[in-house]
Chain A
Amino acid sequence: MSSKAVHGTDAASGAERQYFDALAQGHFNIQRCGQCSRHVFHPREICPHCGADALGWVRPSGRGTVYSYTTVRRKPEAGGDYNVSLIDLEEGVRMMACVVGRDPHGVAIGMAVQARVDAAGGAARVVFEEVQP
């Protein structure tokens, strides 16, 4: 697995705060369970697979594929149509995100994508761009 540990659970706050604090610093982290070794997203307090209180943060590779997608229609003056996708990360977790940097109507299931942290719209969020598989 290409993910690497960045730090353990910080008891000073819940997982959601820790996730968004890291994201605001430009870091996209997901969790991995020290008990059952499975990756977890969205961030949680205990493992949803085995129930253990053993979740730690890891940095995912950011490589993923489009599991499904929709093009949300929006008037051009409001910014135009945009993509909303479900992305399967190679660590085995799924997340909602936008595929950006291309015509939203050309996104396809199975498309290889790479994560990056985007803070252009204000609050930082993870977005994906198409890459060659």
Chain B
Amino acid sequence: MNYRNLRGKTAIVGVGHFGLGQAPGYTDMELLVRAAHRAVADAGLTMRDIDGIASSSTAASMWVMSAIETLGLRPTYIDGTCLGGSSFMSYILAAAHALESGQCNAVLVCYGSAQRTATVGRAAVTEARKSLDPQPYEAPYQPLSPLSSYALAARRHMHQYGTTREQLAEVAVAARLWAQRNPEAQERAPLSIDDVLGARPVSDPLTVRDCCLVTDGAGAFVMVRADRARDLPNRPVHVLGSASAVWNRQISCMEDLTVTAARQSGQCAFEMAGCTPADIDVVGLYDAFTINTILFLEDLGFCAKGEGGSFVSGGGIAPGGRLPVNTNGGGLSCVHPGMYGVFLVIEAVRQLRGQAGERQVAGAKLALAHGNGGTLSSQSTVILGTAETV
């Protein structure tokens, strides 16, 4: 069977989140369970209906087993792959295969992190990772991980294409303007280009306002076959195309710092979905840092390579701009609990259901959500559509 035949055969029927921002007193797993419970209820199902699960954690290598145990599941389909922040997009194509083959009937994709308020601080986790997951060819030079890797990419993009500091700042300002329309977003105070440029420099050319938030939070969604989705309470959001790509782990092994593996994942996802960037109504791009949004706009084909900076200029991706990008406020202004990918899927679903409130993109039928993991290492693209697009 050609995997492209999976186009439209499955749908996301439930979404849920919990503990966005600060959730003191909760563990990662407790947050995950709360979000999972909401997503399953939103789907019009019960936890007993869930027979497939996909989840991962940045800290625990056997995380999905703990999630199965805690939720009390007996799944026939299990995906514990960790591709960093893009994991939650990468689960979608594999889950579509499993659903369509009959291996399972309802897949729960879920994530939770208390990284903001956890008793084991991020510094301790970073230290532990040095021995558990060593990077001996980069660590001796003390790059801030992962920030300095993105700073290196930003600097190269500026050198090669004339991208400006102000254009990077435009990405953060656009995210903030969207966040101001989202009551769930964590940072909603006014933010100007000058604010971003004048913020504390961390790893040049990036300042602290070029970096995503550090929050708690959990998110989940439920996938079923399209025929079953029709009988469930929510308007189904169909999976039209999806693909993942990894070309490197370390930034020092990335061949061209201005071209990510999103070029491959995007091309495959668009081919499967049978549409082009011009058809997409609403876009979510994993904005761990401002340079990400510019790189992914280019690599996914929303503009030519090197033109991402001018594409975002003058409010190009802000409300009222040429393309609505990161309408929830993104990792930069909405929420970013370690791995953010699941929230991009949730926002795409809400937009396609018409439930995005003040930030709703009118008549949105096709959405693209793109995840990134590691240091521009993993790239996963998913294209979702309303029933009429199938």
Contacts and interface: CB of A to CB of B under 8 A. Distances in A.
Chain A complexes with chain B: yes
Contacts of B205: 70
B155 A109 contact: yes
A98 B142 CA distance: 9
18 contacts: A20-B136, A42-B253, A68-B156, A68-B257, A70-B143, A70-B148, A71-B203, A72-B202, A73-B201, A73-B203, A84-B143, A86-B252, A94-B252, A95-B252, A96-B137, A96-B138, A98-B141, A125-B141
Interface of B: 136-138, 140-144, 148, 151-153, 155-156, 159, 200-206, 250-253, 257
Given A84-B148, A86-B251, A109 B140 contact: no
Interface string A35-68: 0000001100000000000000000000000011
Contacts of A72: 142-144, 148, 202-203
A70 B203 contact: yes
The A interface, classified by DSSP as helix, strand, loop or mixed, is strand
Nearest to A74: B142
Interface residues of A, number: 24
Given A86-B251, A96-B251, A125 B152 contact: no
A21 interface: no
A94 to B, nearest CB: 6
Contacts, number: 72
A115 to B, nearest CB: 13
Contact of B152 (A16, A70, A73, A95): A70
A96 B201 CA distance: 21
A96 B144 CA distance: 13
B204 A73 contact: yes
**Listed residue (A20, A67, A82, A105) with the most chain B CB atoms within 10 angstroms of its CB:** A67
